[in-house]
């Protein structure tokens, strides 16, 4: 059972109204653990990814379960550390107390945190959005989030993938390797996806949207350094170096990759290390470079399309699609690549693409 449902739903509705990309209950763990098992440090109630015309995206955190007796200033200091950990630019802390000390608000503001009493949050969200908060977004349905959260108990074999979705993805999202890690994690678990379960379709669509979100950082970076590459070979080489952490790291991993493959397939094997469906991947990147800012908007469309399978089709998805044909096109292209690269049963790709094509 998800706690603090009403406030979390308001945070999701606020993000959806602003057309930010929302995700709920992100697990926080050390980026480089030393223990035998992962020890969770804390969690983030809601994270919203906000489009940035230059950097690609920024992040905003929502803390929705502060105890009434806890000082707003203390909570702000905690949130400030969490913001640094995630590279977030802003945080909202919703307090259960009716009044907040002015000095506490000032301390929080200096840390990039906005302190808001619970009974003022909806008003603040409406005023800062310039409109009433949407009730038509499937991604703001707490019931839908709860059904996906229940997958780990119903389908234990999906547990590692769901754990990755809740934690590691968000620690790696902004790194250029993030997109290939999403593909690798789904590829490893592909046999567990059953098209007979609608929740599996939602999970696949959500992961496709997260793949798109991780592409945003990569595409924005490529756009800033290589808008017009001299040749296709130069473009592919630059992408490889970014995906694998630079030339030295790539060459080392590539040598190991070839040694392993040659030990299995013979010395004639000479393919270079690359994500699955490499020609399709580089073609996808070139297409996304037509409008880098539309990549994140396409990711939101994919997420809304997925959650609509259990929350019901709503006017929000139609409004997104009607106002942004380029993002719909990108969502179709990303879903096509993701379904092929992850090798899930073909029904997953066919169904999500047909839903997206109906919006085009």
- Taking the chain (360 residues) in consecutive chunks of 10 residues, what is each chunk's mean pLDDT? 83 96 90 72 92 83 77 88 89 84 88 91 93 95 94 94 92 80 95 96 97 92 77 88 88 86 76 90 94 94 96 90 95 98 96 92
Question: By the 8 A CB rule, do 306 and 202 touch?
Answer: yes
Domain count, the chain: 2
Domain check: are 17 and 35 in the same one? yes
The answer to whether the CB of 157 falls within 8 A of the CB of 192 is: yes
Instruction: Assess whether 185 and 155 both reside in one domain.
Output: yes
- Asked whether residue 11 falls in the same domain as residue 106, the answer is yes
**Tokens describing residue 106:** 């000032």
pTM above 0.85, yes or no: yes
Task: Indicate if 111 and 151 belong to the same structural domain.
Answer: no
Do residues 73 and 108 make contact, with C-beta atoms less than 8 angstroms apart?
yes
Same domain, 155 and 295: yes
Residues 192 and 84 in one domain: no
Taken in order 243, 244, 250, 256, the sign of the CA dihedral is negative
Residue 126: its pLDDT value, please? 93
CATH no. for residue 83? Answer: 3.40.1350.10
In 10 A of CB 159, how many CB atoms?
A: 14
Judgement on whether residues 172 and 274 belong to the same structural domain of the protein: yes
- Round to whole Å and give the CA distance between 135 and 16: 9
Which of 77, 104, 133 marks a domain boundary? 133
Question: Which of 94, 111, 133 delimits the end of a domain?
Answer: 133
Same domain, 209 and 77: no
Domain containing residue 68 = 5-133
Are 249 and 323 members of one domain? yes
117 with 190, same domain: the answer is: no
Indicate if 66 and 210 belong to the same structural domain. Answer: no
Last residue of a domain, one of 102, 133, 164: 133
Shared-domain flag, residues 218 and 267: yes
């Amino acid at each position: 059972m998800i706690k603090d449902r009403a406030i979390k739903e308001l945070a999701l509705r606020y993000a959806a109204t602003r057309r930010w990309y929302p995700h709920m209950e992100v697990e926080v763990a050390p980026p480089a653990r030393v223990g035998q098992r992962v020890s969770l440090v804390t969690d983030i109630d809601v994270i919203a990814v906000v489009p940035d015309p230059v950097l690609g995206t920024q992040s905003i955190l929502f803390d929705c379960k502060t105890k009434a007796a806890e000082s707003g200033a203390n909570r702000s200091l905690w949130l400030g550390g969490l913001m640094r950990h995630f590279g977030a630019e802003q945080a909202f802390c919703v307090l259960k107390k009716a009044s907040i000390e002015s000095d506490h608000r000032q301390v929080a503001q200096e840390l990039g945190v906005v302190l808001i009493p619970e009974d003022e949050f909806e008003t603040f969200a409406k005023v800062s959005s310039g409109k009433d908060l949407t009730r038509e977004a499937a991604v703001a349905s707490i019931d839908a989030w709860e059904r996906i959260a229940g997958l780990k108990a119903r389908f234990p074999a999906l547990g590692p993938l769901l754990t990755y979705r809740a934690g590691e993805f968000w620690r790696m999202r902004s790194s250029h390797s993030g997109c290939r890690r999403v593909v690798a994690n789904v590829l490893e678990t592909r046999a567990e996806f059953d098209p007979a379960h609608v929740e599996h379709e939602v999970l696949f669509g959500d992961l496709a949207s997260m793949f798109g979100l991780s592409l945003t950082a990569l595409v924005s970076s490529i756009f800033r350094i290589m808008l017009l590459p001299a040749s296709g070979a130069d473009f592919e080489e630059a992408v490889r170096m970014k995906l694998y952490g630079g030339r030295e790291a790539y060459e080392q991993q590539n040598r190991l990759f070839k040694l392993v493959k040659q030990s299995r397939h013979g010395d004639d094997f000479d393919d270079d290390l690359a994500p699955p469906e490499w020609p399709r991947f580089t073609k996808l990147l070139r297409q996304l470079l037509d409008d880098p800012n539309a990549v994140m908007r396409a990711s939101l469309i994919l997420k809304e399309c997925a959650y609509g399978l259990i929350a019901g089709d709503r006017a929000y998805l139609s409004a997104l699609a009607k106002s942004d044909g380029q993002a719909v096109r990108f969502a179709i292209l990303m879903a096509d690549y993701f379904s092929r690269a992850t090798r899930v049963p073909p029904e997953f790709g066919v169904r999500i693409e047909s839903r997206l094509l109906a919006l085009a």
